[in-house]
Amino acid sequence: MGIDVAGRETTGDTSFGAWREQAWQQVQQPDWPVYDREAWRGTTVEPWLQFPRRWDAVAKVTGDVAGVPELPCRVVVANGRVADHRELPAAVGLGGWQDLTPAERATLGQGLPADGFTALNQAAVPELLVVRVRGIPTHPVHLLHYSEGEAEPVLVCPRAVVMLAPGSHLTLVTEYRSSGVCGTNGVLELHLAPGSQVEHYLIQQEAVTAVHLLRVVVHQPQDSHYRLWAMGAGAGWSRCEVWVEQTGAGATTQLRGLSLVGGQQHNDMHSVITHHQPRGVSRQVHKCVVAQQGQAVFHGTVRVKPAAQGTDAGQINRNLLLSKQAKVDTRPQLAIQADEVQCTHGATVSDLDPEMLFYLQSRGIDTQTARLLLVEGFVQELVRELPFPTLRQSCQAWMHQLTEASP
């Protein structure tokens, strides 16, 4: 694929420039995933391979793009650059590449796939956002990534690193929005410390003209807790990858996800939880609602290494199809190399229950309302866990839109 290196942005920080330069050789001769690889089975990379490579556009942020009144502590990242931040708690500090120690810089990218997408993010990221947490912030932190296309499609490669001190707690809301034709190739790294906790809410509602790839890598040492609630509803083509490394004993991971897919959208949720040490706990529940000609993919893997005795892991994927043209590809997987473990997984795919529809209609409820009630019942378990009313209403609006558009 053609890469225009002439548009590369230089930086006064030579170390940061050298770090970016390390990735350019791989971008020139990348290891791009192909359709028949197991991790990408069911998802084609053609939308990315055909996407123009221009990343020097600066978003014109007008007004308050955040629009979430219950989240006043926010950082706005426009086309990969910090455009605004306000009301951050005293326990939260912002920085950049220069604020990382040599040892911390050496950990960047660990746990991520060493392919063309990771290299492209490193090579084209305009600046590195570092968030440090010491203690317990008084309010959640809202990290809003806003991408804006122009007359030509624009590629955006944001990258954020979150560092927690031992015993600290953080509620993080990461949201992705866009306008125009653009592609997001983002990376978010979370480095927890022993005894630290992260409550993470991830909302992807980019424009349907966008393509979106996000890789989240989480490093969990001893007795750390990470909980993710993720909703993907936007972009014409999207893929979210969550890579969790439990590197300490007694770590706990909980992944909760919801994919809302309609029109001709493609939505892919890919997760890998690796238990390296004993007594780790992980739970994952992911639900997909697919309408019209949409396609959803779920590929979840739990890996248990030989030293991870006493691991307790559970994984379930449930899918609801609202039309005959809707498709879903689900593959929950276990890779166990230890003996004393409790691990389960499973998946279901179903249509709306005709008997339930008939029962509601026999009580005087019209067909469309009956369908909506059944879809709401399917997703309510997850939607009610979103504690922010504005984002919860946005999620419900996407769900209503899908149901109303289906026959």
d(CA 336, CA 305) in angstroms, rounded, equals: 7
Helices 389-405/367-383 angle, 10° precision: 140
For residue 154, give the nearest of 78, 62, 97 by alpha carbon.
Answer: 78
Amino acid at 119: A
392 domain residue, yes or no: no
**Residues whose CB is less than 8 angstroms from the CB of residue 371 and which lie 6 or more positions away in sequence, other chains included:** 322, 352, 357, 403, 406
The number of folded domains in the chain is: 1
Which 8-state DSSP code applies to residue 241?
Answer: E
Q: What per-residue confidence (pLDDT) applies to 116?
A: 86
Which 8-state DSSP code applies to residue 166?
Answer: T
Amino acid at 109: G
Long-range contacts for 38-43 (Cβ within 8 Å, ≥24 apart)? 39/113, 39/270, 39/299, 41/299, 41/329, 41/331, 42/268, 42/295, 42/297, 42/299, 42/329, 43/239, 43/266, 43/268, 43/297
Q: What three-state secondary structure class fits 372?
A: helix
For residue 57, give the nearest of 132, 147, 139, 141 by alpha carbon.
Answer: 147
Spell out a b/e string for 270-286, using b for 16 or more CB atoms within 10 Å of the CB, else e. bbbbbbbbebbbbbbbb
Instruction: Scan for tokens 């409790």, then name that residue.
Output: 342
Contact by Cβ (8 Å): 319, 285: no
pLDDT by residue, tens only, the chain of 407 residues:
333 333 344 444 458 989 998 888 888 776 777 656 788 888 888 887 776 666 555 555 544 565 688 999 999 999 899 988 888 999 999 999 999 999 999 999 999 998 889 999 999 999 999 999 999 999 999 999 998 877 778 889 999 999 999 999 999 999 999 988 889 999 999 999 999 999 999 999 999 999 999 999 999 999 999 999 999 999 999 999 999 999 999 999 999 999 999 999 999 999 999 999 999 999 999 999 999 999 999 999 999 999 999 999 999 999 999 999 999 999 999 999 999 999 999 999 999 988 998 999 898 899 889 999 999 999 999 999 999 999 999 999 988 888 887 76
For residue 247, give the nearest of 215, 280, 284, 216 by alpha carbon.
Answer: 280
Q: What per-residue confidence (pLDDT) applies to 306?
A: 96
Which 8-state DSSP code applies to residue 100?
Answer: S
118 domain residue, yes or no: yes
| Phi, psi (degrees; rounded to nearest 5) at 86 | -155, 150
Q: What per-residue confidence (pLDDT) applies to 13?
A: 47
178 domain residue, yes or no: yes
Q: What per-residue confidence (pLDDT) applies to 15?
A: 86
Instruction: Scan for tokens 């378990």, then name that residue.
Output: 381
12 domain residue, yes or no: yes
Q: Which domain holds residue 221?
A: 5-248
401 domain residue, yes or no: no
Distances from the Cα of 159 to the Cα of 98, 177, 251, angstroms: 15, 15, 25
* C-alpha count within 13 angstroms, C-beta hemisphere, residue 21: 8
Kind of pairing between the strands at 81-86 and 74-78 = antiparallel
363 domain residue, yes or no: no
33 domain residue, yes or no: yes
209 domain residue, yes or no: yes
Kind of pairing between the strands at 129-133 and 92-95 = antiparallel
Q: Residue 81: how many CB atoms within 10 A of its CB?
A: 16
180: left (phi over 0), alpha (psi -120 to 50) or beta: left
CA 51 to chain centre: 21
